[in-house]
Amino acid sequence: MANKVSIELDGVSLKVQAGITVKKVMELNGYKVAKYPEPASLFTPCETGGCWSCAVEVNGQPQRACVTSVSDGLSIRTVLPDNYVPRRIVTGFSGHQVGGVGTPWYLKSAGGYIETACFAAGCNFRCPQCQNWDITYQSQGRPLSPREAAERMTEARDKFAVDRMAISGGESTLNRRWLLEYVRELKQLNSDPKARIHVDTNGSILTKDYIDELVEAGMTDVGPDLKGLHLESFMRITGIEDQDLAERYHSTAWEAVIYLTEEYKGRVFTGVGIPYNRKLISVQEIGMMGEKLSKIDPELQVCVLDYRPEFKKLNLVKPSYAEMVEVHRILSGKGLKTVVCQTKYGHIGPST
């Protein structure tokens, strides 16, 4: 039949529309596909080819279900072989002078390189003002195994003579097995007590058991970004249109901050990120976020990022220095002891 191709899906012969993705074929044939991790589901959080969470076997090779099109004679096995090594597109591996929200504030003003960072492609958010969109939506390039990425990061640590090693993105947590193995490998290659392994994340799938596993693997620092208190702001900032999904991501991120504070204070350094641009979130809401965070732990480091015109939101105006001073004043006024505000002139720190 025209435009139809013959394929095999887990041993079952099918005729399907030519050119549709493997993910679509699975959906059409009753397989569960999810954007929040669920048991017995194909997890497809980014759908742009970066994270490799959706890997299946196609003609004997691992391929991404979200971006691989079907053609005549294709054979798909949805269960990967036991010896499958996870992979992910990761770039960067270079020195950084500023760090992320999970970098202790006093290091930010120390000058020179303070950490090395790599960036994982693929994100489950669609922030219209994404500041890392070129990395986030990257789908080409050889994906790295956890070991390869850990070796590159260790080389970068040596080269830039730092102790902190960060992974950011995109969203670093999407491919759970890959991230856990990467942190374990990194810990093994950097077993000295000075080594710090920092995970920068939007926190949206960072459940308690995931946090436990990351800490067990070797994570020492974490920077969850909370993109709003109200769901409406969260959806505006993240570009997520599905309200149920947005609710799950939003509540998981807030619960992650609570759990990190209750379970790991003193053991894992936690720095929380908050976005600010008055077109995206009001100062009143920023104040309410400050109040909530102060109740969780007044000693939490809270870093406010001044969202600038970027990606699809070139009409944004970068917050003025005076606005960031005001945001700093509001958050400090809620009892938070470590508020850091990013501005065009550098950071406003707790003692300013």
Kindly indicate which of the ranges 51-59, 153-161, 224-232, 265-273 contains the residues binding ligand FES, using the contact rule CB under 6 A.
51-59
Among 22, 52, 162, 250, binds ligand FES (CB under 6 A): 52
Tell me the pairing of strands 115-120 and 164-169.
Answer: parallel
Q: Does 44 engage in binding with ligand FES (CB under 6 A)? A: yes
Smallest CA-to-CA distance from 16 within 8, 199, 186, 87 is with 8
Q: Does 86 bind ligand FES (CB under 6 A)?
A: no
Q: Can you name the residues that pair with 164 across neighbouring β-strands?
A: 115, 196
Hey, how many other C-beta atoms are within 10 angstroms of the C-beta on 5?
18
- Single out the residue of 54, 56, 186, 336 in contact with ligand FES (rule: CB under 6 A): 54
Nearer to ligand FES, 65 or 348 (CB): 65
Taking the complex as a whole, the smallest distance from the CB of residue 310 to ligand FES amounts, in Å, to 22
* 8 A C-beta contact, residue 166 and residue 117: yes
By CB under 6 A, what part of segment 122-141 binds ligand FES? 122
Query: Smallest distance from the beta carbon of 175 to ligand FES, in angstroms?
Result: 8
Q: Taking CB under 6 A as the rule, does residue 90 contact ligand FES?
A: no
Stretch in the footprint of ligand FES (CB under 6 A) among 39-47, 92-100, 311-319, 320-328? 39-47
Q: Which stretch binds ligand FES (CB under 6 A): 41-49, 104-112, 251-259, 330-338?
A: 41-49
Q: Which residues bind ligand FES (CB under 6 A)?
A: 44-47, 49-54, 64, 66, 122
